[in-house]
Structure 1
Amino acid sequence: MKKIIILTLSLFMLSALTAVTIYEIQYTEDPSGDSPYDGEVVTTTGIVTAYGFGNDKYFISMPEGGAWKGIYVYDYTNAPAPGDEVEITATVDEYYDLTELTFVTSFSILSSGNPIPDPVSITTNELATEEMYEGVLVTISNITVTEIPNSYNEWYVDDGSGECQVDDGFFEYPAPLIGDEFISITGLVDYGFYYYSINPRDANDVVVGGVGAIIYDHEPAIGEDVLVQFTYYEDYSIMLWWKTSSDYDFEPLEMTTGRSVDYFATIPGQDGGTTVNFYIEATDSTGVVETFPEGDPETIIFGVYSHQAILNIPPRAFNPHAGETFPIEFASQQNDKAILRIYNAEGKLVRTLVNTIIENQTGINLYEWDGRDKENNLLPLGLYICFLEVIDTTNGNKKTAKAPIVIGSMLK
């Protein structure tokens, strides 16, 4: 009996120290897809392809990458960096049919700064159906959105071979629309709730189709910076020009490249009640400039969600006698009553421009004043006062704001 126990113990210890490759852990011909090492303690090595899945977990791969050569590590104790070569002793587990390494008992970094394996190019149908790509860094190309994000931020794309799921294990991509096209999406493949999905690691993994900008939040939180991604296929100098409604002119932000065709810039967060407009210029080596979009600038809105009186007036004169109008942006929370008036320098009311309930969810409204009084006459040059009164319709509380407007002289 003692010999049997000792033999069993020895076999257990040998199993616990079994050194195997990721390929050996993952490769299976079993229709269930289960690893042949399911339930066993193994030691393996690999290059970290991504960290931060579900905030603090990661994937590793054999250096050459490829089918069956990547695996998910459920380990929230260690925090390796992409490119680290690690050695791990852990238990192989089929967690709801996802092969993973868990219960890590030994972890060491063998080297750092190693190249991350190249992604494997596969079809969307292969991603959706093939066990061999679970845990692997892959790329799908020339794809179109077929389903918009559900409540779990899962959405679907198709390259014509059959749709697959895109998920947000690492970062949340801004909600696409059905029909949106992407040149490619790169990411790690996981499995859950009966679906394989691709999880891009960051914005660089998502290459949009066509030339244009992606705004990562059209209505950000107050004070939150906004990331803008621009895709362009030439090696041009790319500059983003932006301003708020209170600024005199656009200010430049140089866009930096993350991949060969993608450029990024961060627009600083703003106070509530602020509208940011921006456009992008691509300049070639001869100085020829292309502007995107071709028409009106793109818009980002920092909404107002409390009772306030906000006036945004650009610091410039305007000439209504030459047909110019003047943009007056005013804001308060939705359902407040807003009254916008113009007074002359002597304090006499010359016109009430707005008397309305704010229906816009962001609270921001724009009025283009034509420089006319209540009799529809063009006003003479001079200083005028724009006065905003905001009334909270639930309790009658009032707030006000005012700002000067200058009507310039007629052009000679």
Structure 2
Amino acid sequence: MKGIILSILSLTVAVGIMAVPFSCYDIQYTENASGDSPYEGQTVDVTGVVTAVIPGTGFYMADPGGGPWSGLYVYGRNSAAQVSVGDEIIATGDIIEYSGLTELSLPTNIQIISNNNPVPAAIDLTTAQVPYNNRISEQWEGVLVSIYDLTVTSTPDSYGQWKVSSGNAVSMIDDIFFNIAAATTINIGDTWHKITGIVDQHTAAGYKLNPRSMQDMIKENKIENSIIEISSIGNAQIGESYILDVSTSMINSDWEVSSYTMDLSFDNGRLQFNDVVFDSTLTLTRPQISDLGQGKIRIHYQADQTMTANLGDILIKLSFTVQGFGNLSVNISEFKYGDTPVNNLSSGSLVVKVTEAIAFMSISTTSSSKNVFDPAMGEKLIIEYGTKVGFLSRALIRIYDVQGRLVATPVHKNFESSTGFESVQWDGRDSNMKRLEPGVYYCHAEVSNRETSKRYKTVQPVVIKARLK
């Protein structure tokens, strides 16, 4: 009987131990020269804080305390839509090695414990500590790190990878989070003061830092190289109000900055601007706000003294109320510190997912939120379409003239976005690439559920303007 009790106790203790989720450090730490996880091939529960999300692909998580071996990549297209940066989670899945990268693959369960947790601070390293071609970088896989005082030694290759050096050591930069080459110019010999990114690796290329946004890339001490970025909300709801942070990179005292002017634009049919919030920000008194019309506002702030800031400090906060579905962007069209324009501007957004099985469509142009455009002047129609996520669906966008004749089919494809929203720009040409005559046309959106064969439709008019003679 005593033996049975001891066996039961032993089993209880063992189950209790197994029920405790692993940390990222537990999964990553290894003394094996290959760098492979000791848990490769096993199904595990891992806990950590989400540090970055790659839409439609996966996300990174890390131990709250940071440090070497503290990060982990989670692969799974559906999983990327289930989490947000700052979520504390427990993820269940298999540990695999994919081209040298340790990852938790295709999680079968993600439990969100809490939200809005701080992301572990980036670890300051030298290029000698995180070279692209040496196994000493293995400990930083999945970890947010920063390197300093860099010189570009190669331009982006066909995979978006490029190299920087500091002294004799070389690190590699990659673009899994955003298209760096499209956001800024990378030339051999350029210098960068600081680049922050999450480290990944591929056996064919080596270890690479992946900046999460332009805010992770800072050039030398010039006002024009400052970075202004608006935060985003990943799962907003119609009728609710939200605060978007406007953050800045470092402001040096010798720049003698004492004012800023910011022009914003947004879809005022689906977003209502409420006010600014300046408590606990770099903006110490209420700024001047000017309504420029058609979803455009200007914010001007004049300080009583020279402004200084550290990377990521909040310049001001913006309050919006959501009034419609869609991926609703809040764009910075222009920003100046004093009289100096700032080059690196990153927009924010509020993603309001469709909650019903319908065909959603919103039409605007490259210059306004109206459905009237002039292709002869280079304007294009932006057609945003969407549906509820969670089922395999196909989108069909067709343009008809007033006689009901089909003239163009801008979209005929499966949905790929994890948010349920996609968009296309139409240049006013028919299926034969001929420019259509001015007049009224009708844009039909159809979403088909490929699992049930159900179809959902909506239609909106569009106008091609006639040019004045």
The normalised TM-score by structure 2 is 0.48
In the TM superposition, what is the alpha-carbon distance from 1:150 to its structure 2 partner? 1.5
Per-residue CA deviation, residues 356-397 of structure 1 (Å, 9 max, x unaligned), is: xxxxxxxxxxxxxxxxxxxxxxxxxxxxxxxxxxxxxxxxxx
Of 165, 169, 173, the residue aligned with 2:176 is: 169
> Which residue is 2:239 aligned to?
none
Aligned residues with identical type, % of pairs: 32
Per-residue CA deviation, residues 99-158 of structure 1 (Å, 9 max, x unaligned), is: 000131221011111111111111123222310000111111121222111222211112
Give the secondary-structure state (helix, strand or coil) at the position aligned to 2:153: strand
Distance 1:160 1:54, change over 3 A: farther
Distance 1:25 1:230, change over 3 A: closer
Per-residue CA deviation, residues 77-117 of structure 1 (Å, 9 max, x unaligned), is: 23211111101111110011100001312210111111111
On the 8 A contact 1:212/1:230 being kept in 2, the answer is: no
Equivalent-residue separation in structure 1 for 2:225 and 2:154 (angstroms) = 19
> Which residue is 1:119 aligned to?
122
Q: How does 1:85-234 map to 2 (within 5 A)?
A: 85-127=88-130, 128=132, 129=134, 130-173=137-180, 174=183, 175-192=185-202, 193-213=204-224, 232-234=251-253
> Which residue is 2:74 aligned to?
73
> Which residue is 1:237 aligned to?
259
On the 8 A contact 1:213/1:230 being kept in 2, the answer is: no
On the 8 A contact 1:231/1:261 being kept in 2, the answer is: no
> Which residue is 2:50 aligned to?
48
Residue 76 of structure 2 aligns with an amino acid whose one-letter code is D
On the 8 A contact 2:144/2:197 being kept in 1, the answer is: yes
In the TM superposition, what is the alpha-carbon distance from 1:238 to its structure 2 partner? 2.2
> Is 1:38 equivalent to 2:40 in the alignment?
yes
- Name structure 2 gaps, 5 residues minimum: 1-10, 228-247, 265-296, 302-306, 317-329, 342-365, 367-373, 379-465
On the 8 A contact 1:123/1:140 being kept in 2, the answer is: yes
In the TM superposition, what is the alpha-carbon distance from 1:24 to its structure 2 partner? 1.6
Give the secondary-structure state (helix, strand or coil) at the position aligned to 2:77: coil
On the 8 A contact 1:18/1:42 being kept in 2, the answer is: no
Distance 1:77 1:169, change over 3 A: same
> Which residue is 2:325 aligned to?
none
> Which residue is 2:24 aligned to?
22
On the 8 A contact 1:86/1:111 being kept in 2, the answer is: yes
Equivalent-residue separation in structure 2 for 1:28 and 1:91 (angstroms) = 17
Give the secondary-structure state (helix, strand or coil) at the position aligned to 1:93: strand
Give the secondary-structure state (helix, strand or coil) at the position aligned to 1:125: coil
Residue 138 of structure 1 aligns with an amino acid whose one-letter code is V
In the TM superposition, what is the alpha-carbon distance from 1:292 to its structure 2 partner? 3.3
Equivalent-residue separation in structure 2 for 1:138 and 1:212 (angstroms) = 24
In the TM superposition, what is the alpha-carbon distance from 1:159 to its structure 2 partner? 2.2
In the TM superposition, what is the alpha-carbon distance from 1:267 to its structure 2 partner? 5.4
On the 8 A contact 1:16/1:41 being kept in 2, the answer is: no
Residue 209 of structure 1 aligns with an amino acid whose one-letter code is E
On the 8 A contact 2:72/2:103 being kept in 1, the answer is: yes
Equivalent-residue separation in structure 1 for 2:377 and 2:51 (angstroms) = 50
In the TM superposition, what is the alpha-carbon distance from 1:67 to its structure 2 partner? 0.3
Residue 45 of structure 2 aligns with an amino acid whose one-letter code is T
Distance 1:308 1:72, change over 3 A: same
Give the secondary-structure state (helix, strand or coil) at the position aligned to 1:90: strand
In the TM superposition, what is the alpha-carbon distance from 1:42 to its structure 2 partner? 1.0
In the TM superposition, what is the alpha-carbon distance from 1:194 to its structure 2 partner? 3.2
Give the secondary-structure state (helix, strand or coil) at the position aligned to 2:128: helix
Distance 1:145 1:40, change over 3 A: same
Per-residue CA deviation, residues 166-202 of structure 1 (Å, 9 max, x unaligned), is: 1111112223222222221112111123311111111
Give the secondary-structure state (helix, strand or coil) at the position aligned to 1:213: helix
On the 8 A contact 1:211/1:230 being kept in 2, the answer is: no
Distance 1:94 1:281, change over 3 A: closer
Residue 43 of structure 1 aligns with an amino acid whose one-letter code is D
The normalised TM-score by structure 1 is 0.54
Residue 62 of structure 1 aligns with an amino acid whose one-letter code is D
Q: Please identify the structure whose Cα radius of gyration is greater.
A: 1
Count of equivalent residues: 262
Equivalent-residue separation in structure 2 for 1:103 and 1:259 (angstroms) = 33
- Name structure 1 gaps, 5 residues minimum: 1-9, 217-228, 243-250, 269-277, 283-290, 294-301, 311-398, 403-412
On the 8 A contact 1:211/1:231 being kept in 2, the answer is: no
Residue 140 of structure 2 aligns with an amino acid whose one-letter code is Y
Residue 259 of structure 1 aligns with an amino acid whose one-letter code is G
Residue 233 of structure 1 aligns with an amino acid whose one-letter code is N
On the 8 A contact 2:50/2:86 being kept in 1, the answer is: yes
Give the secondary-structure state (helix, strand or coil) at the position aligned to 1:29: coil
On the 8 A contact 1:68/1:133 being kept in 2, the answer is: yes
Equivalent-residue separation in structure 1 for 2:300 and 2:125 (angstroms) = 35
Moved over 3 A (4+): 13-19, 229-232, 251-258, 260-263, 265-268, 278-281, 306-310, 399-402
On the 8 A contact 1:48/1:80 being kept in 2, the answer is: yes
Per-residue CA deviation, residues 217-254 of structure 1 (Å, 9 max, x unaligned), is: xxxxxxxxxxxx88642353223699xxxxxxxx9665
Per-residue CA deviation, residues 270-329 of structure 1 (Å, 9 max, x unaligned), is: xxxxxxxx88442xxxxxxxx437xxxxxxxx9xxx99579xxxxxxxxxxxxxxxxxxx
Distance 1:231 1:151, change over 3 A: farther
Equivalent-residue separation in structure 2 for 1:94 and 1:60 (angstroms) = 16
Equivalent-residue separation in structure 1 for 2:120 and 2:375 (angstroms) = 53
